[in-house]
Chain A
């Protein structure tokens, strides 16, 4: 067991975990932040995407110990109190989610995408989403939501 400390959603946290603990399990089980989801075991699906030191990262492919000392932001830390992030608001306005399981990872990926590419065209958005699966929406409204959010950010 080893003690791992980091900042998650602005709060200093620390837990005693087995070294093999994945960051996603650290978040879900040790910190009860269950908004980040596990959808696969080969790092394809993107349901686990969080931000580590400002960059989108698949938390299923990072050990908690690798994030020691880092600033981590999860979906729970995206809204500013009651005020939704524009990407969150756009997903609701444009019906960019159905079952919601891929949604936290999709939103975190989108936020990172728009930080790097402020005005992506449709082709770029679709390419940037290749690490996030959605089985429900066919991506049509996800792309629409991200485009809409890019126009207000």
Chain B
């Protein structure tokens, strides 16, 4: 294949089949549970059966005597070894300037348990079965206390308190926007549309349960942790600097193949911490693998907002102001990103795609006796989109306006556009995605389809969601001012080998996103070398310099930009070397299609030949140009990126059964420049499926009296299955992102962000009702359809 055909087949913009697939389709992946360390022992965690209780005593004598048991460790052992607690990495302040309030988060519960599933002790034994058997013999005496689990109940007078440090269970009372401007807008409004909205609590449920193996080498003093993490370097930093399990330079963290994360594998949890810590104590590697029912109670949950929102409009349907009050459930403890999700990742998107001059949002972050709530696909942006797109659709209907026309009337068309809520949108074309989505779903003929359905006794409806989100997180100084404890740049090391093959060590982590292919496409395209000659290395802190990991749809925009800058440096140095080797001036060297040539001649060097020259150092002055060819970049983006698009859902509700069928789902998204369209579409499919899951099927339910998690397994928590979903119609429009050298906006979360509002807007249209709560189970739809 010649160089130009190769570029088309495997370069930027090509739908290249994935390089990583072979090991997954043949059962040769290396997920953490597939890894076994010599002499390993197994851990099983004793967890609280109560939502709120004191820990009065832990009697584990019988457990220690059980077959195969090596050790039983509790919070007292953690405290005796002086370990720090689990941390929140983002500090948010209340309106009055005071910092957010929360209690300590010990690695193993010490005086209190604060949610069902809270980790109390760990049993370490020769086999996993023995550890689990012995855990039943650990006798914890609890002093049961009353609990509160619902977000709406947390601040009620007399509600049981989660942490003494946070009176009224209120961690923060935060605000954003201009209250006075909004009050003025509402005073001048011709119409106010208001909604009370619940954003239902979800459980990420990546298909691979969390797992960890901790190991300590007593000869060298080096710890190794295998962990199902989206960000191994961050884990290494947190474990060393904050929890203090090991010095940073004596801790290797490996996130091998990881089976999905969606945000739930960002946090540095108790379990992997205990595995590292305990491995030194017991002198054996310690392995832990979550059972699914454990995952349900102990993985970070998502969403769980209660919101009252009001939209002020003039008589023609132009939006004048938006006022939002949200109460966000944080769970029992703050986690790594927890505080940012319902604040800076939420309220800053409330302008949507609209020219909304005044916005004011108040968010109370409340603590409850439930699993901690943290980032889950979209992290704040699905919640914001749901609020604004439900208001917009409702307003359009109340004013008798077509929902597409209503949106067009309010679209932002001039960029850059400074919203009233921090975000400055740099580029976009909202009409393009709306128009294309309308074309794909054949919006013009919807009335005929609705009538045809009615003739069959079915109620058909159509719903829009024109979303925008902020991702590609994030410019470091900017998020530092917003309270983040870290910078959100990304790193890349492009290492050219003497044989001309290339390794790229990236600080991003692939747990389904296909980086081993897409990152290789970029390198292959720019260096003009076959994609087979490019290896992408990630997930091992021994191999890869510090990186921030993968979440917030950042790996394309930030991770690939780091590779792009490193490639620039490689090419710059290579051209200098080529000039010497080819005995020409540097200005006469052309690098194209993998070849360095002297302009106007047929003298040249293939990339691999240049690489060998770089490493032999025979033909260039090594006092001026160092031998070797390896360059690094730590890339900090200049802005968030702003993917945006239009989702349209068409549903049919059977009034006899309440079953909601998604007949058609169209997603037209602007992700800027796209490296691999097939992979990008796959991200949209997966995100939309999760969004439809939120709208129709999923809800994490805690019993209000006992605080028990009722949806504690796949029996009771309804995951989307193949026959719950249609095939999707996905289109793309492009306005390249100006904030990174590749023009990439990112695509990992958008599907989950836009879709819930589209579905609910379609159902309310189908049934001719104003509101309905997510998830729209058949019972809910049936009641609504029949006025019950």
A residues within 8 Å of B by Cβ? 18, 20, 28, 33-42, 44-45, 47, 74-76, 78-79, 84, 88, 91-93, 95, 97-104, 107, 122-123, 125-127, 129-130, 132-144
A36 x B27 contact (CB < 8 A): yes
Residue of A nearest to B514 (CB): A98
Beyond contacts A36-B27, A140-B685: 16 other A-B pairs, Cβ-Cβ < 8 A, are A41-B713, A75-B26, A76-B28, A99-B206, A99-B257, A99-B258, A99-B259, A100-B29, A101-B207, A102-B207, A107-B25, A129-B723, A136-B512, A139-B685, A139-B689, A143-B722
A144 cross-chain contacts in B, Cβ below 8 A:
727
A136 x B17 contact (CB < 8 A): no
**Main SS of chain B's interface residues?**
loop
B62 within 8 A of A: no
Please measure, in the bound complex, the distance between the C-alpha atom of A91 and the C-alpha atom of B52, giving whole angstroms: 47
B129 cross-chain contacts in A, Cβ below 8 A:
18, 20
Interface residues of B, CB < 8 Å — how many?
A: 57
Residue of B nearest to A88 (CB): B25
Residue among A34, A38, A74, A143 having the largest count of chain B Cβ atoms under 10 Å: A34
Smallest beta-carbon distance B255→chain A, Å? 12
A100 x B24 contact (CB < 8 A): yes
A42 x B292 contact (CB < 8 A): yes
A18 cross-chain contacts in B, Cβ below 8 A:
129
B27 x A74 contact (CB < 8 A): yes
Knowing A92-B25, A99-B208, A101-B208 are in contact, say whether A45-B714 is a contact too (CB < 8 A): yes
A76 x B207 contact (CB < 8 A): no
Please measure, in the bound complex, the distance between the C-alpha atom of A93 and the C-alpha atom of B679, giving whole angstroms: 12
Knowing A129-B722, A130-B723, A143-B727 are in contact, say whether A103-B24 is a contact too (CB < 8 A): yes
B291 within 8 A of A: yes
A104 cross-chain contacts in B, Cβ below 8 A:
24-25, 27
Residue among A41, A88, A92 having the largest count of chain B Cβ atoms under 10 Å: A41
Residue of A nearest to B727 (CB): A140
B511 within 8 A of A: yes
Please measure, in the bound complex, the distance between the C-alpha atom of A137 and the C-alpha atom of B727, giving whole angstroms: 11
Residue of B nearest to A29 (CB): B36
B402 within 8 A of A: no
A95 x B679 contact (CB < 8 A): yes
B residues within 8 Å of A by Cβ? 17-18, 20-29, 31, 33-34, 129, 204-209, 257-260, 262, 289, 291-293, 511-514, 678-679, 681-682, 685-690, 713-715, 719-723, 725, 727-728, 751
Residue among A39, A75, A76, A143 having the largest count of chain B Cβ atoms under 10 Å: A39
B25 x A135 contact (CB < 8 A): no
Residue among B257, B259, B679, B714 having the largest count of chain A Cβ atoms under 10 Å: B259
Smallest beta-carbon distance B711→chain A, Å? 12
**Main SS of chain A's interface residues?**
loop
Knowing A104-B27, A135-B260 are in contact, say whether A99-B512 is a contact too (CB < 8 A): yes
Residue among B25, B689, B720 having the largest count of chain A Cβ atoms under 10 Å: B25
Please measure, in the bound complex, the distance between the C-alpha atom of A100 and the C-alpha atom of B25, giving whole angstroms: 7
A97 x B685 contact (CB < 8 A): no
B685 x A137 contact (CB < 8 A): yes
Residue of B nearest to A34 (CB): B34
Residue of B nearest to A99 (CB): B512
B720 cross-chain contacts in A, Cβ below 8 A:
138
